[in-house]
């Protein structure tokens, strides 16, 4: 039986329905022909030039990424630009491109859920529940045994792939934490949520100066969590293996591979 890109699109829709994405998001098929033959899928967090080249070299006819390549308005896909270069490589290599973003964040095996699982959290629930039971943005949970803030940061260092930015924390290193809130990817928009405010520590990425500073000040006066800031790419990369296993179960005749390329944008850090 001949498998096509459309078969993968159908499997992705069952796992990560496009209709459940945030209104500002742009998931779905971005490049390619649904009727094209499919023998191999490659997964990555980001559609970079290096990832596109890797997918084509691997013989993949479909690249599935977490971050939509065309999230905001684009007026040119010339190869002189980063997005155009990626699209051209994929088209020339016969590789379609599909994004599963916030629609993959909210599911029971989504980005935040996988990070919570790797940390061993128990009694987990979404920070912001969706209409479907067990689904929603972010996760809260409890550590099986309390840890110091430093020890939790060290556990994250063991769980996440290494990046130049490492792991940053705001709070007393010896503070004992048990109740954890987390959001894979950029999550400072959730700092005001009741489940985050009630946690001992909030783990997320891309914390901006002013929201982080305000949250830190609140924590110092006993009204909010300590903060741990991790790489955006690293926090979401844990989802790839779970997604690959689901696709292998849904499409047993299709080979599914996972990129190990680091697409975190930073190359080195200088410390005092």
Q: Is residue 251 part of a domain?
A: no
pLDDT at 271: 87
What beta strand segments (E) does the chain contain?
28-31, 40-44, 62-65, 96-99, 122-125, 128-129, 136-137, 139-148, 168-170, 176-186, 201-205, 226-230, 255-258
pLDDT at residue 1 above 80?
no
The answer to the question of residue 256 being in a domain is: no
Residue that finishes a domain, picked among 78, 104, 130: 104
Same-domain pairing of 99 and 143: no
Question: Do 115 and 224 fall within a single domain?
Answer: yes
Residue environment code for 12-29, b if the CB has 16+ CB neighbours within 10 A, otherwise e? beebbbbebbeeebbbbb
Q: For the domain that residue 23 is a member of, what is the CATH number?
A: 3.40.1390.30
In a domain, 164, yes or no: yes
Q: Is residue 13 part of a domain?
A: yes
pLDDT (0 to 100) of residue 222: 82
Q: Are residues 97 and 10 part of one domain? A: yes
Residue at 258 is within a domain: no
Q: How many domains does the chain have?
A: 2
pLDDT score of 245: 98
**Residue at token pair 């705001």:** 170
269 band by pLDDT with thresholds 50, 70 and 90: very high
Do 110 and 198 have their domain in common? yes
**Whether residues 33 and 65 fall in one domain:** yes
Residue 207 pLDDT: 96
122-125 and 139-148 strand pairing: antiparallel
User: Is the separation of the CB atoms in 175 and 219 below 8 Å?
Assistant: no
At 155, is the pLDDT very low, low, confident or very high (cuts 50, 70, 90)?
very high
Domain end, chosen from 104, 130, 149, is at 104
Q: Please, are residues 66 and 111 in contact by the beta-carbon 8 Å criterion?
A: yes
Per-residue tokens: 233? 């790419």
pLDDT at 33 over 80: yes
Query: In this predicted model, what pLDDT tens digit does every residue of 98-119 receive, in sequence order?
Result: 999 999 999 999 999 999 999 9
Distance CA 90, CA 263 (A): 17
What's the pLDDT score for residue 131? Answer: 85
In the three-class reduction of DSSP (H, G, I as helix; E, B as strand; rest coil), residue 249 is classed as helix
In a domain, 39, yes or no: yes
CA geometry: angle at 243 spanning 55 and 18, to 5°?
95
With bands split at pLDDT 50, 70 and 90, how would you rate the model's confidence at 202?
A: very high
- Mean of pLDDT over the chain: 96
Residue 161 is part of which domain span? 106-232
Q: Please give the average per-residue pLDDT across 187-202, as a whole number.
A: 96
Q: Answer whether residue 136 shows pLDDT above 90.
A: yes
Same domain for 156 and 179, yes or no, is: yes
pLDDT of residue 51: 98
**For residue 223, what pLDDT band results from cuts at 50, 70 and 90?**
confident
Whether residue 96 sits in one domain with residue 116: no
53 and 21, same domain (yes or no):
yes
Same domain, 194 and 124: yes
Alpha-helix residue ranges (DSSP H) falling in 93-140: 102-105, 111-118
Final residue in a domain of this structure, among 104, 134, 158:
104
- Residue 133 has a pLDDT of 83
Across 156-166, average pLDDT:
97
- Can you read off the two tokens belonging to residue 218? 């609140």
């Amino acid at each position: 039986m001949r498998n096509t890109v459309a078969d993968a699109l159908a499997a992705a829709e069952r796992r990560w329905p496009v209709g459940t994405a945030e209104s500002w998001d742009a998931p779905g098929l971005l490049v390619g022909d649904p009727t094209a033959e499919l023998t191999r899928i490659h997964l990555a967090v980001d559609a970079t030039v290096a990832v596109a080249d890797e997918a084509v070299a691997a013989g993949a006819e479909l690249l599935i990424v977490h971050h939509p390549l065309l999230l905001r308005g684009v007026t040119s896909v010339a190869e002189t630009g980063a997005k155009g270069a990626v699209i051209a490589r994929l088209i020339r290599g016969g590789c379609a491109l599909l994004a599963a973003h916030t629609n993959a964040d909210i599911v029971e095996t989504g980005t935040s859920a996988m990070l919570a699982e790797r940390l061993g959290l128990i009694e987990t629930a979404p920070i912001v529940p969706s209409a479907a039971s067990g689904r929603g943005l972010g996760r809260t949970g409890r550590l099986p045994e309390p840890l110091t803030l430093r020890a939790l940061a060290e556990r994250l260092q063991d769980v996440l792939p290494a990046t130049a930015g490492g792991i940053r924390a705001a709070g007393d290193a010896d503070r004992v934490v048990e109740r954890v809130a987390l959001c894979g990817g950029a999550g400072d928009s959730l700092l005001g949520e009741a489940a985050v405010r009630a946690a001992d520590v909030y783990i997320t990425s891309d914390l901006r100066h002013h929201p982080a500073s305000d949250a830190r000040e609140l924590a110092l006066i006993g009204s909010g969590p300590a903060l741990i800031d991790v790489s955006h790419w690293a926090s979401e990369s844990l989802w790839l293996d779970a997604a690959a296993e689901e696709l292998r179960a849904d499409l047993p005749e299709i080979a599914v591979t996972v990129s190990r390329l680091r697409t975190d944008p930073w190359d080195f850090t200088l410390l005092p």
